Amino acid sequence: MSSNRNDNMIEITVTDSGGITRTLNARDGESLMEAVTRARLPGILAECGGACACATCHVYIGPAWLELVGKADPMEADMLDFADDVRENSRLSCQITIPKT
Amino acid sequence: MEETVIIVGGGQGGFSTASRLREIGFRGRVTIVGEEEHLPYQRPPLSKAYLLGQTDVGRLSLRPRDYFDKLGIDLALGKRALRLDRGQSNVELADGSILSYDKLVLATGSRARTLPDELSQALSGIFVLRSVSDAEHLRLALASQSRRVLVVGAGFVGLEVAAIGSQMGHSVTVVELSSRVLNRVACEATANAIQALHRNHGVVVKTGTKVDRLHSHYGAVTGAQLSDGSFVHAEIVVVGIGGIANDELAADAGLQTASGIVVDQCGRTSDPNIFALGDCAVFPFEGRLVRIESVQNACDQGAAVADVIGGSTASYAPVPWFWSDQYDAKLQTVGLACDYDKVITLHGSREGSAANWYFRNGRAIAVDTINDPRTHMSTRRLFGAGQSVSIEAVAAEGFDAAIEARRHQHAGAPAQQ
């Protein structure tokens, strides 16, 4: 995932689980999960709707954006611990808020 | 010839079935009939973020409208299904239209149980919470300054509303008929921890008590006379005394019902072309017939039914899970805590975190955790892998569900040839 600022929208580049890369627009203040489900990204189910309760909105953050996006808090880290194919740069997208521009 | 699937119910379960049908390549016609005008939306935030004004209807939608357009899922929203004619294989809607089906999916959900009429007397200020419209009414009432709120029923909905009400600065009293909170769904240890949480936030919890009579002034509720002799002043009364399966459409058409539409392990009703799932369905689980009101059950049973329509013969054998956010506490459950004979409490490494393990005949059947997602997730792994966890293992010094889960994960990995 990587991003570009544009007015009050942020462009985010995503690669889905099938390897297809595209750009989507995220709105100020919404979660990354809301942006990716709106864009119909396959594989992101987001069953619990953003409550950090299901771990079905798992994403990998591009290395260049890790610092900006920040680390998972302890509760999210615990949820992630037993998600599928967890890596160093794993996050639950419902716990990432698109910053206000 | 391509089949036509009609899904009655535009909630999480109906959405899950429709979405999964397309995912597995089903090419026939798929229509979701929804009584509410809204696109399929999430209900859990209604008793949480929605009441705080932190989200709105648009953001609750499970997917945007163009998702349904692109996948070729027809939406017939704002239309109530009136009658099911099994002989003609069709459903009649309130607007007079008639939809023919090859396969029918009933995902009609549940409705909130209300107070008896002689108690509520159509007074204003009495609320239930199930739909976005219910939540909007309650949100507006709670938006007024310092109200007194009486919550009737200490289940998940009632307790979540109590937490929100108290966080908003209202004075909140919870009245529960049974001897403790969460009586139907959780053990004493979980109940005591949650009850203490509420009391620490200034919520008055009265158990073993019921509302005998409501007082009113010009048609608006002002308080309640309780069976313990006390009187509680309240301008807002929230009734959270459970849900009733919407099984009438099925029952009227002669399908087997038992406080819910009875289905087999494939989600099939007593009519092989009709399926039911989610809140409205009663299904076999660990040798019992159960009805589960949860996102997990709506999603997973919805997907399982779609798979069966697509030709699968797999059984729906879920690992039930659930969560409830109250104040800063995250309560999570795995499994179904029914007919248990023993509970062991393990305290987690984080302050205030705990896991309550439920056992039946020496085997773990459910785990409630408070602020311990690590145990919650690892237990989901263990139960999902069919891994039996014994009471001796859990009671042993140094037991850690996460380590168990990792051990079985490795043991279950395919051997190198």
Sequence-ordered list of residues with C-beta below 8 angstroms from that of A95, at least 6 positions apart, any chain: A31, A52, A72, A73, A76
Between CA A64 and CA A59 the distance in angstroms is: 15
Q: Which of B44, B63, B380 sits opposite A37 (nearest CB)?
A: B63
Per-residue model confidence (pLDDT) at position B166: 96
Across chain A, mean pLDDT equals: 88
Helices (H) and strands (E) in chain A, counts: 3, 5
Q: Which residues of B touch A54 (CB under 8 A)?
A: 295-296, 321
Please give the residue of chain B at the shortest CA–CA distance from A40: B67
Please give the residue of chain B at the shortest CA–CA distance from A27: B59
Q: Is the ipTM of this complex over 0.85?
A: yes
Sequence-ordered list of residues with C-beta below 8 angstroms from that of B20, at least 6 positions apart, any chain: B302, B303, B306, B307
Asked if B4 is an interface residue toward chain A (Cβ–Cβ < 8 A), one would say no
Sequence-ordered list of residues with C-beta below 8 angstroms from that of B362, at least 6 positions apart, any chain: B390, B391, B392
Asked if A30 is an interface residue toward chain B (Cβ–Cβ < 8 A), one would say yes
Interchain proximity B323–A53, CB inside 8 Å? yes
Interface test with B, best of A47, A86, A90 (most B CBs within 10 A): A47
Interchain proximity B402–A82, CB inside 8 Å? yes
Closest among B194, B299, B386, B59 to A53, alpha carbons compared: B299
Strands B329-335 and B321-326, bridge-based pairing? antiparallel
How large is the greatest C-alpha to C-alpha distance in chain B, in angstroms? 80
Q: Which residues of B touch A49 (CB under 8 A)?
A: 42, 44-45, 60, 62, 295
pTM passes above 0.90 = yes
Reported as a pLDDT band with limits 50, 70 and 90, residue A8 is confident
Interchain proximity B44–A49, CB inside 8 Å? yes
Interchain proximity A34–B59, CB inside 8 Å? yes
Per-residue model confidence (pLDDT) at position A17: 85
Per-residue model confidence (pLDDT) at position B413: 46
CB contact at 8 A, B209 and B222: no
Please give the residue of chain A at the shortest CA–CA distance from B328: A75
Per-residue model confidence (pLDDT) at position B415: 41
Q: Which residues of B touch A85 (CB under 8 A)?
A: none
Reported as type and span, the H/E element at residue A69 is helix A66-69
Please give the residue of chain B at the shortest CA–CA distance from A53: B323
Distance from CA of A35 to the nearest CA of B (A): 10
Interchain proximity A51–B323, CB inside 8 Å? yes
Distance from CA of A91 to the nearest CA of B (A): 15
Per-residue model confidence (pLDDT) at position B416: 38
Per-residue model confidence (pLDDT) at position A43: 81
Between CA B273 and CA B36 the distance in angstroms is: 25
Distance from CA of A24 to the nearest CA of B (A): 14
Three-state DSSP at B376 gives helix
Between CA A77 and CA A73 the distance in angstroms is: 6
Between CA A82 and CA B398 the distance in angstroms is: 20
Q: Which residues of B touch A55 (CB under 8 A)?
A: 377
Structure tokens at A70: 């920040």
How many interchain CB pairs under 8 A, A with B?
A: 60
Considering only residues B399 and A42, tell me which one the structure prediction assigns the higher pLDDT. Answer: B399
Interchain proximity B295–A48, CB inside 8 Å? yes
pLDDT at A5 over 70: no
Per-residue model confidence (pLDDT) at position B185: 94
Q: Which of B48, B63, B377 sits opposite A81 (nearest CB)?
A: B377
Asked if A78 is an interface residue toward chain B (Cβ–Cβ < 8 A), one would say yes
| Tens digits of pLDDT across chain B (417 residues) | 689 999 999 999 999 999 999 999 999 999 999 999 999 999 999 999 899 998 888 899 999 999 999 999 999 999 999 999 999 999 999 999 999 999 999 999 999 999 999 999 999 999 999 999 999 999 999 998 778 999 999 999 999 999 999 999 999 999 999 999 999 999 999 999 999 999 999 999 999 999 999 999 999 999 999 999 999 999 999 999 999 999 999 999 999 999 999 999 999 999 999 999 999 999 999 999 999 999 999 999 999 999 999 999 999 999 999 999 999 999 999 999 999 999 999 998 888 899 999 999 999 999 999 999 999 999 999 999 999 999 999 999 999 999 999 888 766 544 433
Considering only residues B133 and A7, tell me which one the structure prediction assigns the higher pLDDT. Answer: B133
Per-residue model confidence (pLDDT) at position A31: 93
Query: What are the Cα distances from residue B28, in Å, to B1, B22, B25, B148?
Result: 8, 9, 9, 53
Average pLDDT of the residues in A42-51:
87
Distance from CA of A4 to the nearest CA of B (A): 23
Per-residue model confidence (pLDDT) at position B33: 98
Q: Which of B45, B332, B405 sits opposite A49 (nearest CB)?
A: B45
